Structure 1
């Protein structure tokens, strides 16, 4: 038998409803939004349809209302120890430096901009041709390979 959904809160804007829905889902409560697409398409219909409805299953009503009351009362505390953090980003083994001035304020261009633009102009869609170039922001030097310091 299917669980019956109960509306525990209504909102004039879908954004606020999505924020609280995400918080309830983070607490392990299954919830759904009703009429969010109607109000998203026509915001002036909010009063006519009764706003965006936050709905939970019958068995989660008391817990969800308690969480919403804590959030709206400003007493909301979240256990950040249970959240799995993303692994730290891997940094490049070597920092690229400009062969002319020695600055590390350089940028890597992965695509050949000329070929990218011409294929977009003639074909209607861009074809990315890889071309590893480095440009120094301090002196304006451009080079293709870190072993060569040739200016283009």
Structure 2
């Protein structure tokens, strides 16, 4: 019988929860690399604890795991698109430039280039760049001069 990896987990107990859920729906499962993950900090090095199901039941297993909340739709993991807003004198930073709402928040994200430079130089603190998020229209933006 051919087996396919349907999900990977950091901790074996998470894999066992999904395993029990699939088996309650009548799908045979197998957990791989659980003991290696338990022996230390090796879970990420080996690719996590793997939950395998028969290849011929892969599509059915994925649908069952989606229904159970173990697999979320891909759009939940999509990164927010950050829009660039040209900064002009007199602009009000307390309201959204797209919908005019004042229900906004400031986010601090690490600048990726600075993170790489600081990692190379072995400095442990990243430089953060500010972005804004509107909680009404869900847009994320940065001001640029």
TM-score, normalised by the number of residues in structure 2: 0.47
**CA radius of gyration, larger in:** 1
Q: Larger relative CO (CA 8 A, sep 6+): 1 or 2?
A: 2
**1 or 2, which has the higher strand percentage?**
2
**1 or 2, which has the higher helix percentage?**
1
